[in-house]
Structure 1
Amino acid sequence: MTMEEIIGLVGGLDGVLTLRPGPGDGTPELAWGDTFFYYSPDGVVPTTTQPFATIVTKNYPDDEASRLDRPGVFRVNVSAGKEEFVRWTGHAPREPAAADADPAAADTVIAHPVYGTLGWLAVVNPGPRTEAATRELLGTAYRLARARHERRAGVPDS
């Protein structure tokens, strides 16, 4: 999967606000080139919630293990909930992993190297092995974010 395919997939979901920071928009330079997905049907950046998924194209401070400084490398980060986290990693977010996963390995679903303890999953350069899983995880993260938004807004369950 390419970044553009992922952006098209997630950005096409109802109520998704896609932020793509760049020069001149007031965002920190560190975020330029990355993509952030929020559930925000009013199109306003939420101030009380994190994005439900991101695409990062570079190393961040204290997050160099994925080696995103390599040409053409990006990482999809997904908050798909505890159940999916356990399904993919074999352990709860705050529990230690049985074996260390290589955070730089491409086309592999792993606990996020920094935010795994918060239940985030990550995939470096999703490819043939993880395309279906990445799509599924993004869909799950979207549904969870939408449900959270509706619960906070007092929308009755459907």
Structure 2
Amino acid sequence: MYWHEKIDLVKKKFPDGFKDPFRAGPEIITKIVTRLFGCTMLNFMESDNRAELLRHGTFVKQCSLSQLYNEELPGLDNGGNYWLFFFKIPMGSSFQVYDCKYGALRELIYLSSGQDEQDFCIVDKKYAWLLYFKIDRPNNTVGIYNVGNS
């Protein structure tokens, strides 16, 4: 299934909890990168380890994939809206950002799970904090980093 087909499924399943800010996407991504990663878009695009670019980022913990889905993600506010920022979407462009409530966010993370290595961020809509997740599927590990007060 192609990425845009997965997005269509999420739109249908969560009509009030998911928005694809297609036109505003590049501007939102630039704000996330400059404010929370503290670098230029060029540096961000060329980096092999974006966790090192995090502005005042802290390594929080390492967990398993099941802990990510069963313990870490449920810690988010169920009624809150977040930016979900993906790097290297399967069969999509390099960077994508979506406006999601918890249910849609969790579904999108699951639908993007076909890659061995995947990085994504959950970002406060006011850019006050960010959670960065670095997934290594072959080793069943997820590195979690924090910027700000999440």
Rg (Cα) greater in structure: 1
Fold conserved between structures, TM > 0.5:
no
Higher relative contact order (CA 8 A, sep 6+): 2
Q: TM-score, normalised by structure 2?
A: 0.31
Structure with greater helix percent: 2
Q: TM-score, normalising length from structure 1?
A: 0.30
